[in-house]
Structures are given as C-alpha cells and as structure tokens.
Chains A and B, each alone.
With several copies, the nearest count.
Chain A
C-alpha cells in the first residue's frame, strides 16, 4: 500500500504543474496547499495571488479564508480585489486552480446549483471569483475527487467557463484568446484536453488506477492520450515538506 493518500497525491501532482516564476490565483484548501508546496520545492519564485487582494505572501500557515490575514502576511502588497482581477484580465496570471460540484467533458464547472435553477434541490455559493479567474487566467486547473455525480454529461448550471461546447466556442463566446482549462487532477488520473475538440483527455493514471476505473467513475466518455503514462508518485521530500511545513495540522491532507 502506498505511503500517501490520494489528497497528498493530487496536491503534489498539482504543485508540479507550477513552474518557477509563474503566477497563480488560488483559493483555500488543496489549491493553496499545492501552491505552497511548489513554492517550498521547485518554484521559490512562484507568485501566489488571492482574489481578495493578497499579493505574493510568505504564507506562515494555511489560510482558512481567501481574505484572512495569512493571505497578505509578509506579502509583496496587500491590495484590493481589482488589483488581482485586473492583473488577471491584463494577462499577467498564468494559472488558477478551481473546483466545483460538477464538471463536464469541456472542463466547464458548476458551483451554483444542483437541480433546477429556479427551484433548486441544493443551492450552492455561486461563482465567487471562479468565473473571473477562469475567464481571465491563461490556464485553469481543477483538483477534484472523481465520481459519476461530479463528472457529468450535462451540468445543472454552467457557472464557470471551460471550453464551453468545445472547438472554438470559448473564443467565439468572447472570452480572452488562448485561455481555457488545462489540467484536471483527480484522485484517479490527470486529464488534459484534446487540441481540436477540447474534450477531456486522460493523460496519466494515478498509481493503482486502471482505465476502466477512470471511465467508470466518469459520467461522460473520456478521450485517451496516445501514450497513457503513470502519474509519478510523490517523492519522500515532497511528502515531508507537505506534511511538516505546508499542512502540519492536516486540515487538507488529513481528510
């Protein structure tokens, strides 16, 4: 049995996507842990941005809110929401990490409602800054557990834009050019998107996962890359830093 859990695997995989010198807009939880881990390993110059105004803090611990004081602790600047989102709109921000109650084959996300919009079964928080980040940042990534209720054929509500209906539909809708979903990191696999159709495409299987498991836990038909690799497991050093420095209280990885 592996000496790490799937949350740890996802966080480590996500952190590896963030190259040194990149800029990333994050929320709390796993995305923040991934950014912190990247900063403490291979990407010391990673610029972390929080939508409420925190610019490139030296996070002393996991923030519990996107606007709490940790998000601007020893920061480059304690700014405002427009400092962050204007920078995203101007094209300064490479990545964002998002989540959602539902995701479809084009990487569109729903965090608004389960059931009918007018008379919902479950009303959810809505976009928050997710739609803004996903509209403006160059590459959107998602860290999420994978199952059929979450990976759906049709969203109950398209809160946050992915590739919309695929092909050129995202640009045609009017969103900034060359932006869009990039990687989906689940407990079972890592997916990208087909260059033409923009459909979700499995790139690598996490240790212990099989193609069948991945497809079975997905409500739509996945595409498969030519060479499906195995997601490299976390290194000992990554796990040590994640557990000792990033999330010592196991808020995220403990679950």
Chain B
C-alpha cells in the first residue's frame, strides 16, 4: 500500500496509513464473483455476523452518531468477540464506544470518534489512544464520505478541496495534486472498499431490498462500496412492496449478503419516526465506564449475558421504555400527563 507515484504531479503527501487497497481492479474482481441472484438472505443476527464479519475485517457501521445505527448488530459483534477489526470512525459515537468496550478493533480511520456529541466523551474509547493500542489515520466526515463515494464509483480516488494546510491533512493519507484544468491544488483521497458494513433500515424484504426514512448520511455510498453488506431491519416486508413501488427502493438486493429482522435494532439510539434515543441509558453507559469493575459488570449485564437484543431492552425498561421513547420521538410526550 506504500506505492508512490510522486512523478505524477504529487505536491505533498499525508503520513497517515492507507488501511484498504484503493485499487478498483481488485475490487472489481471481488464484485464480479459476488452472486447477484435474488436468493433468500433472511437469517439470524448471530448467523449474519458469524458469516460476514471476520477478524481483521474493515467494518463500517451505518447511520450518524447514534441515529439509525445498527446497535443490535454492534452488540452481536462484541458478543462474538471479533478482534483486530479496522473501523471507520465516521460520525461514530456510541457504536465506537461499544466496539471499543469489546476491544474489537485495532486500526481506525478517524473522522469523529470517542465523543457522544453533547453527551460527553467515552473514557474507554479515549484509553485506546492514550495507551497507544490502535493504529490510526486522521480524516474528516466528508473526507471519509468521499472515500466511500470513490469506491462506490469504481475509481481509486476523488479530489476534494478541504483539509489543505492542516495537521488533519498531514496525519491523513491524502495527497495534494494539481488540477490539470485549473492549476488549483486538490487533495486526492483514496477509495475505501470496506470488507463488511452494517446498515439499519426501516423496511427490507427477505432478498435484501431495503428502504429507510429520514436522512441518508453516507449510507447509500456505503451500501455500494462495501464488499459484504448486512441489512438489519425494523420490519421485514413483502417483496411485492418493492416491485409495486420501485421508486422507494434505496438498496437493491444484489448488494446485500444478509438480512436480519431487528425490531428496535437501533436502540439505544434514535430510529427516525419510530423511537428516540434512550438518554438515561446512554448516560449510565458513560458513567459506568469510569470504574473498570463497574463497567465489567455493566457490559456483562447489557451485552455478554444477553441472549439477544430483546433481553437487552427488557433489562433497560422493555416495552414501557420503548413506548415512552416512541412518544419522545413523535413529540407527543407531555411531561405533565405521562411518565
């Protein structure tokens, strides 16, 4: 991955590692051999993760922050004790926190990590860096989005106009090149073809056709560029729903390797139009991290001892909690009358 072509107009190179080969011809060979048959891919979360997420894989988790994020799948990855993953720290928040708790990854492309937005910073995630336990490359949200897009387009890089002049460039893996039409400086960002990605959606059929509501973040590009794709869905719907409204399809089945029925699969995050994030539980998580023994018990309770996502939610309020989070999401909750 260290090939350099400095004779072809490269003015400056960042020093960050390129974790994934941006060569589109190698990716093409993979995609050529991937089956495009419309076969039934509906499976359990356990099996979907076992078959598609392997030690050492480059993993992308969809959504933004803790919104429409496949936490059901993320917990299963930790439960199955995946190791040495490479992780796309793209708008990651609680997903990284959970994956860090499981010590699942040791390489990371950094756009946004460690933080849970306004909620605070994850101590456990910070330690990875402060104890030098991960290899990392510095990037930005749009920068990583562009790297997925380049891969989705089958090109080895996309030129962008951000990061120049900063340490983010210096510690990233971009290269400054000159535009052959305008003479302007641009940053070439290498494509990322992830080994596996997980996206949570509102509705999917058993073949993998999928659609979701609300903001799309980078999920369509991720669906296109990833080598294997797990779709987790609030609801499995009839295939005819897509045939009768092909305008609504966001992800066609042939990109998908496994479909999992995953009601409340984005809990404890937000699922647009379905349920709001469980801020109490996320707060509990942040404070549990402060003491190793407390955190060990916390993880045991919430991940390792849970046979599935339902059990995890039951432990944190079950149906009543989900009904409440639905009201919060729909803005129908009144502090006076309810709760």
Contacts and interface: CB of A to CB of B under 8 A. Distances in A.
User: A contacts B directly in the complex (CB < 8 Å)?
Assistant: yes
Interface of A: 20-23, 27-29, 45, 47, 51-58, 60-61, 64-69, 71-82, 85-92, 94, 108, 112, 117-132, 135-136, 138, 155, 157-161, 164, 169-170, 173-178, 251
Interface of B: 24-25, 27-32, 34-38, 63-68, 89, 91, 93, 110-115, 117-119, 121, 126, 128-130, 132, 138-143, 145, 149, 151-155, 160-168, 171, 176, 184-187, 209, 213-221, 224-225, 242-244, 246-247, 249-250, 252-254, 270, 272-273, 276-277, 279, 329, 331
Nearest to A157: B167
Q: Which 10 A-B pairs have CB atoms at the shortest separation, nearest pair first?
A: A91-B28, A174-B185, A173-B165, A89-B154, A53-B215, A67-B64, A123-B129, A128-B112, A135-B162, A80-B216
Contacts of A67: 63-65, 67-68, 91, 215, 217, 270
A235 to B, nearest CB: 24
Given A60-B331, A71-B215, A131-B140, A92 B67 contact: no
A208 B91 CA distance: 39
A175 B165 CA distance: 8
Given A65-B67, A135-B161, A177-B28, 17 more contacts: A28-B118, A45-B36, A66-B117, A76-B242, A79-B215, A90-B31, A92-B31, A117-B167, A126-B114, A126-B138, A128-B140, A131-B143, A132-B142, A159-B168, A160-B168, A164-B166, A173-B165
A49 B313 CA distance: 33
Contacts of A86: 152-154, 224
Contacts, number: 292
A176 B25 contact: yes
22 contacts: A52-B91, A53-B64, A65-B118, A68-B270, A68-B276, A74-B246, A80-B220, A82-B153, A88-B154, A89-B155, A91-B24, A122-B126, A123-B126, A126-B138, A127-B140, A128-B112, A132-B143, A135-B164, A138-B32, A173-B164, A174-B176, A174-B184
A177 B249 contact: no
Nearest to A118: B132
A28 B64 CA distance: 14
A119 B132 contact: yes
A135 B160 CA distance: 10
A92 B252 CA distance: 12
A132 B326 CA distance: 33
A62 to B, nearest CB: 9
A54 B221 CA distance: 18
A136 B162 contact: yes
A239 B8 CA distance: 56
A74 B243 contact: yes
Given A136-B162, A160-B166, A77 B252 contact: yes
Contact of B142 (A81, A112, A122, A126): A81
Contacts of B37: 20-21, 45
A85 B145 contact: yes
B113 A125 contact: yes
A90 to B, nearest CB: 4
Contacts of B216: 53, 78-81
Contacts of A175: 161-162, 164-165
A199 to B, nearest CB: 16
Given A69-B276, A126-B89, A128-B111, A80 B215 contact: yes
B333 to A, nearest CB: 11
A51 B269 CA distance: 18
Contacts of B272: 69, 72
Nearest to A124: B114
Contacts of B29: 91, 178
A123 B218 CA distance: 25
Nearest to B67: A67
A176 B28 contact: yes
A25 to B, nearest CB: 11
Contacts of B143: 127, 131-132
B112 A69 contact: no
Contacts of B160: 89
Given A52-B64, A89-B155, A112-B168, A121 B130 contact: yes
Contacts of A22: 36
Contacts of B93: 65
Contact of B27 (A91, A124, A178): A91
A82 B218 contact: yes
Contact of A129 (B140, B166, B176, B250): B140
A82 B149 contact: yes
A65 B32 contact: no
B167 A158 contact: yes
A64 B280 CA distance: 13
A68 B67 contact: yes
Given A65-B117, A81-B141, A161 B164 contact: yes
Contacts of A89: 24, 153-155, 160-162
A75 B214 CA distance: 10
B118 A29 contact: yes
Given A75-B246, A126-B113, A176-B24, A52 B217 contact: yes
Nearest to A70: B331
Given A76-B242, A77-B252, A174-B185, A131 B163 contact: yes
